[in-house]
Amino acid sequence: MAKNARAPSGKPATIHDQNLERGQGGELHQTAGAGTPLLTTAQGGPVADDQNSLKIGARGPTLMEDFHFREKMFHFDHERIPERVVHARGYGAHGFFETYESLAQYTRADLFQRPGEKTPAFVRFSTVAGAKGSFDLARDVRGFAVKIYTQEGNWDLVGNNIPVFFIQDAIKFPDVIHAVKPEPDRSFPQAQSAHDNFWDFISLTPESMHMIMWVMSDRAIPRSFRFMEGFGVHTFRFLNARDESTFVKFIWKPKLGLQSVVWNEAVKINGADPDFHRRDLWTAIQSGNFPEWELCVQLFDQAFADSFDFDILDPTKLIPEEVIKPIPIGRLVLDRMPDNFFAETEQVAFMTQNVPPGIDFSNDPLLQGRNFSYLDTQLKRLGSPNFTHIPVNAPKCPFAHFQQDGHMAMRNPVGRTNYQPNSRGEGPREDPVRGFRSFREPVDGPKVRQRPESFADHYSQARQFFQSQTVHEQRHIAMALTFELSKVEDVVIRERMVAHLLNIDEALATTVADKLGIETLPKPADAAVPTRDDLPVSPALSIILNGPKSFAGRKVGVLVSDGCDAGLLKKLRAAMDKEGAMVELVAPKVGGVKAADGTKLPADHMIDGGPSVLFDAVVLLLSQEGAEQLVGEAAARDFVADAFAHCKFIGFSAGALPLLAKAGVTPDEEDVGLIDLEGAAALSRFVESCRQLRLWTREASVKL
């Protein structure tokens, strides 16, 4: 019940008015008590279970006859027009997928048969919660949806930059999105999870705790689409020509390595450039620095699935890369922007059920529900069952069917016969050999609304993720939780979340509780399965431990003034160009400056519009007179102070010392991130230092 809703007695309803019961899978049920309205369908039918979709056995496939799930998801899919209910803010690009080696041993999917073959692709990156007009650097999950136009139909790998999800059953998807969206009575906050509704839902949904660790980590504020991983989330199947099954999980790994920003930086970037991620992708492709990822797979058989510590059908769990090493099987390259944003990026329709022969589904209940849901969504958004007639959605291989008419039909069957079977021998026919075949998995069990007991451990992998982070990343998670929960008005919700954190890491829970002013720790939340503390750390889960080995693809902001050293700037440009990085000039005026040798240097930004948060490293290339003039400029002081506080490497000329001093930054031997560029080897040392991206040891001293 919403916070301000009224119970039949006329009193405000709170969580204390609810009867809570825990199901076999650890999920919480709020049951109707005395005076509490009974949950019904839109037709008025009483609902017995709103937590689980109807399946054959606890781990079996979802049944089409589940009218409650169908109605709930149908209504949810049609709540918004015309933007997407989720992933509304997106940006896309064209490219290709190139297969490395034949995978015929595992799959008969056509695109994996011929080494070196390139298949057209379209990719859309997005945030989940915000509207179309929201900002790019919200703390949020990022969509990573790939449409590959294979010779046997379109394959849509509709994933995220996080390998797990909030919920285990698709019937809960409308609830988690309703909770994270702006609160319905006030329509804010926009593109933020820092509010009561979201954390109320999360604190009553223990299965979300693993995902919460990811969303509160730096994974949720990536530096760029180009520097983030993508995951298929679910377990799929490969089927070979003999219909033999191999389970598979898909991972996209960026060639440029992983990188995120810090929260204070994200806030300022959203103010300086709310299109930061869009601009970055556009600039990279237009300049020929084509973003690239490797598609990697984790392959395993039924024996592994049966022996693994967690259920491979549970979308809130992952398989650590140290347990099954991802195998690179191809690469994705983005090399062309859409000709028209609306025609392609806005109208592209992804659906998890779009798979070519040789790729099949598992019984993951979230995946099963997504397969059911996406078609409804496209009909609502694009207004017609003929959305596949839109070029970006149309297959690039030959296709034929008897579907006809409908709103905005662009093509129809030709001739008299529009059905089959027919006695004329006209029209397309099915092919049992080449056509899609599902894995013939034996399924047996009662029709139940039930979560399997193997889904019930909600804390162990959350703890494993937190323990796998570096000290700096753990601090960021604690800061994120503190910030988010500080925006929650209901103290009970804050305490409930701390109770969950106690099941993940006591030091984390204690830190968050202290920052929130919770003097007495609550008892740990009731856990359906005790948290395991024997899971080994997984270095693959850390961004810092998987950063780049070069500064390629990054950007240096150079603050210049009249009288600066043009020769040093030329050497810096050459060094960064060799590294594969970009240099942009920031000046007091956008018209630029005049160097000491009289050279006119046009600027890319004026200081007020080019803050240091837009760059990965900065250089202060100033004459002493220029620095003294900038000392009085707040934007110039912030340029230096923010770069220092955000642990960036700072190169400087001798003339910049007055500005450094005014910004409270004093070069000394203890901070190796402040590099005097005078001297033969200084520039090389600066470039080499920048490959680390951040000087994290500085973070404790700036206490951002």
Active site residues: 87, 160
Evaluated on CA atoms 181, 375, 64, 405, the torsion sign reads positive
CA distance 551 to 259: 11
Sign of the CA dihedral running 583, 589, 591, 593: negative
Alpha-carbon distance 528 to 205, whole Å?
Answer: 12
Residue 622: name the closest of 690, 569, 577 by CA: 569
User: Residue 663: exposed, middle, or buried by beta-carbon count in 10 A (0-12, 13-18, 19+)?
Assistant: buried
The contacts of residue 328 (CB under 8 Å, 6+ apart) are 100, 253, 294, 295, 296
Q: Judging by beta carbons within 10 Å of its beta carbon (0-12, 13-18, 19+), is residue 35 exposed, middle or buried?
A: exposed
Facing residues of 159 across strands? Answer: 144
**Cβ–Cβ under 8 Å, residues 552 and 523:** no
Picking from 61, 177, 72, the residue whose alpha carbon sits closest to that of residue 452 is: 61
Q: Quick count: other Cβ atoms within 10 Å of Cβ 339? A: 8
Q: Which residues of 310-323 are buried (b: 16+ CB within 10 A; e: fewer)?
A: bbbbbbbbbbbbee
Question: How many Cβ atoms from other residues are within 10 Å of residue 513's Cβ?
Answer: 23
Q: How far apart are CA 211 and CA 142, in angstroms?
A: 13
- Between CA 572 and CA 671 the distance in angstroms is 21
Q: Can you name the residues that pair with 586 across neighbouring β-strands? A: 559, 605
**Ordered DSSP codes for 58-108:** TTSPBPTT-HHHHHHHHHHHTSSSSS-SSS-SEEEEEEEEEE-S--TTT--
CA distances from 275 to 88, 268, 346, 436, 605 (A): 14, 12, 16, 41, 16
Using CA atoms, how far residue 59 sits from 1, 165, 390, 445, in Å, is 30, 18, 38, 9
421 vs 419: CA distance, rounded Å: 6
Q: First CA to last CA across the chain, in angstroms?
A: 38
